[in-house]
Each structure stands twice: as C-alpha cells, then as structure tokens.
Amino acid sequence: MRDFRSICLTAGLGLAALGGWNANVQAAPLGEGAAPIKIAINEWTGQNVTAHVAGHLLEKLGYHVQYVTAGSFPQWIGMEDGSLDMTPELWTNNLGDIYPKLLAEKKVEPVGDLGLNARDGWAYTSATLAVCPGLPDWKALLKPECAAALATAETLPNGRLVDYPADWDTASAKEIEDFKVPFTAVPAGSEGALVAELQSALAAKQPLLLRFWAPHWLLAQTKELNWVDMPPCNPKDGGRCILPSPVIKVVRAGFGEKWPAAYALMKQYQLAADDQQKMMFEIDQNHKPIDDVVGQWLEANSAKWSGWVEDAKK
C-alpha cells in the first residue's frame, strides 16, 4: 500500500533473492522459461507476502523467479527499463506520476484486481458502540453524547479521532470539516504509536475512534475493530475524501507473449486480506522467515490456488 504500513524492506532497486528452477514441472506454454521473472518487492510486509506467494506459484509452473527490492515509486523505472517484470500489489490511491504515463504509453498492463478487499477509513472498537449507538453509520458521530464520551482535555468539547501520523497526508480533518462532525483529528506520533493505542483500547475494552487500514497483522488477532460507513464524499477529490482503494496486479508490456503460462496465472491470482494479514502476523510478530510462512500457507490452502496453476498449463 503506502509508506504507513509495516516497513520491512528498504526502497530502491536491488536484488533480494533468487527463486529456484523446478525442472520437474512441465507447464505447456512456458514461453521463455529460462529467463527469470523479476518480481518487485516494495516497502511493506503485506506486499512482500503477495509477491512471494506469486513467486512460489510461478515456480510451481516451472519458472525462474527473482525478487527485486523496489520502492513504490522507483519500481516504475524498473518496469520501464526491463529490470522488473511485474508488481503484484499496486494500491491505486498511491500511483505517483510515472505509472499513469507508462499506462498511457502501453508500457505496462494491469492484469486484474488482486481481490485483497483493502480498507482505509475510520474505525472503532466494539466498546465504542455503548457510547455512540447507531454506528457504523457515520451520523452516529454527530450526536453530542458520542463526542463527549470520546473527548479528551486536548479536544474538548469535540471528540477525539486518532489520525494517521501528520506526514501521511491524511484527509480526516477535511472530512470532519466538510461534514461538520464534532470531532478533532489528532495525529498519532507514529505508526507504532497508533497501533499501540489501539491495542491498549482493545485490551481494556475502551471506546476509541481512529483512522486505520486493512490488511494489517493486528486484525489477525481481533474481531473487535469495526469500520465506520464513511460520509458520501466526492471520490474525485482524494484530498478531502477517504475511500477504499482497489488493489491491482500489473505486468510489463510483452509479459504475456514472453511467458504465456505466467500471464494466465497472474490474471487469475487472488489473495484475500484475511489470508495476507495472518501471514503478516507470523512474519512481523512471530519473526518467521517469509518463505517458510508462505510455504506453509500454500500447503494448507492448495484448494485456493491449484486450479489457477492447472488452468495456466493448458
């Protein structure tokens, strides 16, 4: 997604790891099977999971795979010059200036939605329902008793919404202003501080309103975080509107001609948020190697992906 999620790799192009060649698998239309498929590794754990699941599946077809560390924006240089072949998790609310240009010039090709069902918006602990009845409807936040219950000395008479850190360029304060919600957006000091406050409120069963996102490893631990049905803002005005972001897969132009089976697989490839954040938890919190976690998930979930591999061989 963006730089506010779990950072696990440094941005900038560079070789991270080399996947193995599975000589025993004979996928029919491999194309240039000896040429490695270079997969972008961005700055957050969830994307790394998506990339490694895709890489493992491509290896099952019989391809070489290389994982190349590439920042969200620098990766487009690699997609243009051929040092990258695919980026499997692109958040469409964080495109930068280069991707639209490459898309217009037909140098890259979107190959479908990832199926991640990503979320980004205001969220609340289940305990908040007791003081703000009517949630998840955002209009419940307009009630004075709701604002009073969530107020702090810093925000009185308004309630407090714990926002993303100030350098994440959040639209929460503008949405509050536009819809006259009696709350004040108070930026968290960091991603860690935001997560720590949420964990504390969940453990103590206290009311809390904050801006959050999914997938996130914390959501693999709790079912006590709920999403506000956001105000109906103008989706064309990203600076004043918070909306879920479609997450897509993108390959370099000519990918399908060079690797037909890989192309067919990537068009079908899907990864649900629930699956991704469970793997994120194992990597970020239990400190397990990503390839071990991905391998275990693939072994336990063959029913989800085996059909894609078989179809790609036809």
d(CA 244, CA 266): 23
CATH code assigned at 266: 3.40.190.10
For residue 236, tell me if it sits in a domain.
no
For residue 217, tell me if it sits in a domain.
yes
Same domain? 79 vs 123? no
Name beta bridge partners: 144.
Answer: none
Give the gyration radius of the chain's Cα atoms.
21
Q: What is the reported pLDDT for 94?
A: 67
Lowest mean pLDDT among 16-20, 187-191, 292-296: 16-20
For residue 211, tell me if it sits in a domain.
yes
Lowest mean pLDDT among 145-149, 245-249, 273-277, 303-307: 245-249
Lowest mean pLDDT among 20-29, 109-118, 165-174: 20-29
Name beta bridge partners: 67.
Answer: 17, 39
Same domain? 183 vs 252? no
> Phi and psi of 309, rounded to 5°?
-65, -45
How far the first Cα of the chain sits from its last, in Å, is 33
Tally of structural domains, the chain: 2
pLDDT tens digits, one per residue of 95-138 = 778 899 999 999 999 999 999 989 989 999 999 999 999 999 99
d(CA 301, CA 295): 10
Q: Is the pLDDT of residue 9 over 50?
A: no
| Structural contact between residues 77 and 98, judged by C-beta atoms closer than 8 angstroms | yes
| Structural contact between residues 220 and 197, judged by C-beta atoms closer than 8 angstroms | no
> Between residues 92 and 40, which one has the greater pLDDT?
40
pLDDT tens digits, one per residue of 30-58 = 999 899 999 999 988 999 999 999 999 99
Q: Is the pLDDT of residue 302 over 60?
A: yes
Provide the H-helix boundaries in the chain.
45-61, 75-81, 98-104, 144-149, 172-178, 191-204, 255-258, 260-268, 273-284, 290-300, 302-312
pLDDT over 70 percentage in the chain: 90
Of residues 110, 81, 40, the one with CA closest to residue 263: 110
For residue 198, tell me if it sits in a domain.
yes
Q: What is the reported pLDDT for 93?
A: 73
CATH code assigned at 180: 3.40.190.100
pLDDT tens digits, one per residue of 254-290 = 999 999 999 999 999 999 999 999 999 999 999 999 9
| Structural contact between residues 45 and 217, judged by C-beta atoms closer than 8 angstroms | yes
Q: Is the pLDDT of residue 86 over 60?
A: yes
Lowest mean pLDDT among 6-10, 27-31, 59-63, 166-170: 6-10
d(CA 119, CA 225): 12
Output 197-202 pairs: Cβ under 8 A, ≥24 positions apart.
197/162, 198/125, 198/162, 198/225, 201/125, 201/127, 202/125
**Domain of residue 147, residue span:** 119-227
For residue 258, tell me if it sits in a domain.
yes
Same domain? 108 vs 42? yes
Q: Is the pLDDT of residue 230 over 70?
A: yes
Dig out the tokens for 139 from the structure.
């209009």
Q: Is the pLDDT of residue 19 over 50?
A: no
Dig out the tokens for 280 from the structure.
């994120």
Give whole-number Cα distances, 249 to 31, 42, 54, 110, in Å: 20, 13, 11, 6
Determine how β-strand 65-69 pairs with β-strand 37-41.
parallel
Q: Which residues neighbour 95 within 8 Å (Cβ) at sequence distance 6 or greater?
A: none
Q: Judge residue 126's burial from the number of C-beta atoms within 10 Å of its C-beta, 0-12 exposed, 13-18 middle, 19 or more buried.
A: middle
Q: Over range 183-209, report the average pLDDT.
A: 96
Q: What is the reported pLDDT for 170?
A: 83
Q: How confident is the model at residue 15 (pLDDT cuts 50, 70, 90)?
A: very low
Q: Is the pLDDT of residue 75 over 50?
A: yes
CA 258 to chain centre: 28
Same domain? 111 vs 130? no
Q: Over range 179-190, report the average pLDDT.
A: 96
Q: Is 81 helix (H, G, I), strand (E, B) or coil?
A: helix
Q: How confident is the model at residue 2 (pLDDT cuts 50, 70, 90)?
A: very low
Dig out the tokens for 100 from the structure.
């639209």
Count other Cβ atoms within 10 Å, centred on residue 4.
20
